[in-house]
């Protein structure tokens, strides 16, 4: 196998592939390795048939670049026949723990590699929509590549929040170097004037939405919750007492049942909230988490829950199954 890119520092073929891709190249999927390794180590792993996984490229912690499959081949990387047949896949060495940070050397090499891939394949724009449905339904023009992420196809955090939050920056930086205009993709804002993110919420009790920021009236069951942030994104869901978790929602609109709030009008006993910090905030202030708590009917508040963490005695959610809650509070905290 010959390297497609002159940036490649090691070529190690992986038998874990389906041969030539059956769809035209229209996507790029960046992954995190969950390990700080050099490109050749990842190649050695993928060269083992029993590993049953591969990627087209790998970027090491030292900026080394490995190629494991020709760009024209379908890798076994994203848990999706459809996506892997359309995407060049790139694994990037990362920390083994959230947010799966990558080194500066790896980040710089990734940008270079993406620019090179685009140039050789006649692409002038790298696009990041930050939305699964929009990305998968979009028909790219012949000079566009769309970024997709593993977490849309499997129950994984890949590419990790560190790289995920940089996707907008990566898309605009690569497009800029290609000499194009990135259109809707965001650019990095100087850290000096980046506002800190804030959160607010509303709870519904007895069929009425309380005013914004009010934790709730003691003794009245909370049935629905709506949460919004000023920057970044939040996802949240509620658990119905005697029932199950309702789907995650991301919107904030008390008259939009499908994604505007969490709840179905029945008493709830637990809540989960997860905050994703955008790249400019990370650069200026660091990572934030949703910090929230609830109280069971007419009782004192339980302890704080951070995001969906299960470390330090946290349950991964606020509340206790079987115990209706009547008050709720959420903040953003580091």
- Chain residues binding Zn ion by CB under 5 A are 31, 150, 158
Name the residue nearer to Zn ion (CB basis): 65 or 158: 158
Measure the CA–CA gap between 128 and 163, rounded to whole angstroms. Answer: 12
Tokens of 117: 């891939």
Question: Using an 8 Å Cβ cutoff, are 252 and 228 in contact?
Answer: yes
Please, where are the H alpha helices in 91-191?
104-120, 132-137, 160-177
User: To the nearest whole angstrom, how small is the minimum distance from the Cβ of residue 160 to Zn ion?
Assistant: 9
**In terms of residues, how long is the chain?**
334
In whole angstroms, the minimum distance from the beta carbon of 33 to Zn ion comes to 9
Q: Nearest distance from residue 285's CB to Zn ion, in Å? A: 28
Nearer to Zn ion, 31 or 61 (CB): 31
d(CA 4, CA 118): 12
Instruction: Give the shortest CB-177-to-Zn ion separation in angstroms.
Output: 25
Contact of 327 with 295, CB cutoff 8 Å = yes
Considering beta carbons, is residue 33 or 178 the nearer one to Zn ion?
Answer: 33
Closer CB to Zn ion, 7 or 158, in the complex: 158
The least distance separating Zn ion from the CB of residue 31, rounded to whole angstroms, comes to 3
Locate 329 and state its tokens. 């509070």
- C-beta of 31 vs 123, nearer to Zn ion: 31
The two three-digit tokens of residue 167, written as one number:
């996707």
Take residue 255 and report the two structure tokens written for it. Answer: 């008259």
**CA angle (39, 58, 184) in 5-degree steps:** 140
| Helix, strand, or coil (residue 166) | helix
């Amino acid at each position: 196998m010959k390297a497609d890119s002159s940036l490649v520092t090691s070529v190690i073929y992986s038998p874990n592939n389906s041969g030539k891709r059956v769809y035209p190249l229209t996507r790029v999927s960046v992954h995190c390795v969950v390990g700080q390794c050099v490109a050749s180590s990842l190649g050695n792993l993928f060269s083992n048939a029993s590993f049953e996984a591969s990627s087209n490229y790998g970027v090491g912690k030292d900026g080394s670049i490995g190629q494991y499959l020709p760009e024209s081949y379908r890798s076994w990387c994203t848990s999706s026949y459809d996506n892997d047949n359309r995407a060049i896949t790139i694994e990037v060495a990362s920390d083994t723990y959230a947010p799966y940070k990558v080194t500066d050397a790896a980040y710089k090499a990734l940008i270079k590699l993406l620019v090179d891939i685009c140039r050789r394949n006649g692409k002038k724009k790298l696009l990041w929509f930050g939305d699964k449905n929009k990305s998968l339904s979009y028909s790219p023009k012949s000079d566009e590549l769309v970024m997709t992420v593993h977490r849309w196809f499997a129950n994984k955090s890949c590419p990790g929040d560190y790289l995920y939050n940089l996707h907008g920056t990566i898309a605009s930086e690569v497009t800029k170097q290609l000499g194009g205009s990135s259109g809707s993709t965001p650019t990095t804002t100087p850290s000096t004037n980046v506002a800190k993110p804030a959160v607010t919420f509303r709870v519904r009790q007895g069929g009425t939405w309380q005013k914004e920021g009010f934790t709730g009236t003691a003794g009245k069951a909370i049935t629905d919750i709506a949460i919004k942030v000023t920057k970044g994104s939040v996802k949240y869901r509620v658990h119905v007492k005697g029932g199950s978790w309702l789907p995650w929602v991301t919107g904030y609109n008390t008259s939009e049942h499908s994604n505007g709030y969490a709840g179905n009008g029945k008493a709830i006993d637990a809540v989960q909230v997860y905050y994703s910090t955008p790249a400019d905030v990370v650069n200026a202030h660091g990572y934030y988490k949703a910090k929230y708590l609830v109280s069971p009917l007419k009782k004192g508040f339980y302890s704080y829950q951070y995001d969906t963490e299960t470390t330090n005695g946290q349950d991964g959610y606020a509340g206790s199954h079987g115990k209706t809650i009547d008050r709720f509070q959420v903040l953003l905290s580091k």
